[in-house]
Amino acid sequence: MSIAMKNQPPTSGTDSAEHREILEMIANWRKALEARDLDGLVANYADDAELFDVKPPHRLRGPAEIRRVWEQCLPYFPKAFKSEHSDLKVEVSDGLAFVHGLHHVRPIDEPGHPAGQTWIRVTACYRKVDGRWLVAHEHVSMPFDCATGQLAPITNPDA
């Protein structure tokens, strides 16, 4: 039921049309991010979707709220960049699916840009509504050092 990928289309024996559909949605999300396409970024959220974002507030509800936060964040991104996922694992059933892995922004021409210094952990949970997969819940985070309260950047996604 599970497949792993690294920015590649799935090729393993656990491949299925449903897996491909989910991975294609995620690939489209990457293209939307690279193009700063706000509508594309929130195209697949359910109306009651809850996002646990990397930053406060601790919970965002619905595509309009999520879109507003993207609008505020995108000016802090590099001028040009690639959006990359690593080690995405997808599980699918009849009505639900979930995916987890790491996401990264790779700046083009601005190697030291702050947005490119860490990978971020992503979990997305989907439900199928009228034949279409929608994000019901998403959780995005970085770990932190309990002793110091400082963020612990993820520099090696394979570690």
Applying CB under 8 A, which residues contact its own copies?
Answer: 1-2, 48, 50, 52-59, 76, 89, 91-98, 100, 102, 119, 121, 123, 125, 127, 136-137, 139, 141-146, 149-152, 154, 159
CB-facing half-sphere around the CA of 9: CA atoms within 13 A:
8
What are the DSSP calls for 54-69, one per residue?
SSSSS-EEHHHHHHHH
CB of 92 to its own copies, least distance (A): 8
Collapse the DSSP code of 152 into the 3-class scheme (helix H, G, I; strand E, B; otherwise coil) and give the result: coil
CB closer to its own copies, 39 vs 76: 76
CB of 122 to its own copies, least distance (A): 9
User: What's the CA gap between 7 and 119, in Å, rounded?
Assistant: 14
CB closer to its own copies, 9 vs 153: 153
